[in-house]
């Protein structure tokens, strides 16, 4: 009962925060911005696609895949970092975390409630972005079948399960960014340091990922497999990259969350 009430209370707190509503508004705005940009700068003939931008305007499925591709590494990473890395330091800096720790709720349960709510809000944001992109793309370009490079055509019965798997994989992938922000968040009372630190690691990792001199070492970098889900939208889907990316994400996420719990349970996290 206490645990349920703690989670419900945390969800109410996070749902009512201004940053939650701003992030939700941003998620809703992104597909609309893409449609407006295409309408202003469109210079291709429908059906003759030579780039991902051209493909985006061929139908709702294409537009959704394009939106996820453009937002997967940065926007969704920021959202995960905000929901998972901001809660502890923001309350610590405001002094409310010290008050919360005086109530008869164990530290582990308090931290878990914040983690669970953060993960749930991250998942909700990704689902909202996907469903909204499908609707916006359908209104703007029609609910036609997916058309990819090399003559790939997938109708909706074929595209829906692949899209669901892709969204699930994106969610799993950004969890490592959120876990890093979570780890940094329990070590500081500056929300910007936790969120910014996580995104800095993502940026540095992306730069290193482009260095061929690192060879196979790049496979261990965070988000190296972040776009492996695109292989699902082939005539014969390839899940090899998705499997490798999922395993690396699980490894990083468990290590970072474990380190975060270890620090929060043993150190003064509210000073």
Q: pLDDT per residue over 114-163, tens digit each? A: 888 899 999 999 999 999 999 999 998 999 888 887 778 888 888 999 99
Judged against a pLDDT cut of 70, whether residue 264 lies above it is answered with yes
Measured distance CA(183)–CA(185) in Å, rounded: 5
Taking only Cα atoms into account, the Rg of the chain, rounded to an integer number of angstroms, comes to: 20
Residue that is written with structure tokens 């878990």 in the block: 112
pLDDT in tens, 172-223: 999 999 999 999 988 877 778 888 888 898 889 888 888 888 888 888 888 8
SS3 content of the chain, % helix, strand, coil (to 5): 75, 0, 20
Q: Tell me the residue range of the domain where 156 lies.
A: 2-266
Q: What pLDDT sits at residue 106?
A: 67
Which pTM value belongs to this model?
0.85
- CB contact at 8 A, 9 and 96: no
Q: Band the pLDDT of 56: cuts 50, 70, 90.
A: confident
In a domain, 68, yes or no: yes
Measured distance CA(111)–CA(172) in Å, rounded: 20
CB-CB neighbours of 7 under 10 Å: 17
Q: Which of 50-54, 65-69, 218-222, 267-271 has the highest mean pLDDT?
A: 65-69
In a domain, 253, yes or no: yes
In a domain, 84, yes or no: yes
Q: What pLDDT sits at residue 132?
A: 96
In a domain, 48, yes or no: yes
In a domain, 271, yes or no: no
In a domain, 40, yes or no: yes
Q: How many domains does the chain divide into?
A: 1
In a domain, 241, yes or no: yes
**Alpha-helical runs (H) found in 72-217:** 75-85, 87-94, 96-100, 107-141, 156-185, 191-209
Mean pLDDT of the chain: 82
In a domain, 102, yes or no: yes
């Amino acid at each position: 009962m206490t645990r349920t009430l703690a989670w419900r209370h945390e969800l109410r707190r996070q749902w009512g925060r201004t940053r939650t509503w701003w992030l939700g508004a941003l998620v809703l705005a992104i597909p609309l911005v893409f449609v407006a940009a295409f309408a202003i700068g469109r210079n291709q003939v429908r059906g003759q696609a030579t780039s991902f931008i051209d493909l985006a305007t061929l139908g709702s499925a294409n537009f959704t895949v394009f939106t996820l591709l453009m937002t997967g590494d940065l926007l969704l990473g920021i959202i995960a970092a905000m929901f998972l890395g901001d809660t502890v330091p923001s309350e610590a800096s405001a002094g409310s975390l010290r008050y919360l720790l005086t109530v008869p709720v164990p530290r582990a349960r308090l931290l878990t409630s914040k983690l669970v709510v953060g993960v749930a809000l991250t998942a909700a944001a990704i689902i909202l972005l996907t469903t909204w992109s499908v609707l916006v793309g359908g209104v703007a370009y029609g609910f036609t079948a997916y058309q990819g490079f090399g003559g790939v055509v997938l109708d909706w019965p074929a595209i829906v399960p692949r899209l669901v798997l892709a969204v699930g994989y994106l969610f799993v992938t950004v969890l490592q960014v959120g876990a890093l922000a979570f780890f940094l968040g329990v070590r500081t009372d500056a929300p910007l340091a936790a969120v910014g630190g996580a995104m800095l690691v993502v940026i540095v990792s992306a730069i290193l990922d482009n260095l061929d001199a690192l060879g196979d070492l790049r496979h261990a970098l965070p988000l190296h497999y972040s776009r492996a889900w695109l292989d699902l939208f082939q005539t014969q889907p390839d899940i090899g990259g998705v499997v490798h990316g999922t395993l690396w994400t699980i490894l990083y996420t468990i290590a970072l969350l474990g380190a975060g719990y270890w620090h929060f349970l043993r150190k003064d996290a509210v000073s």
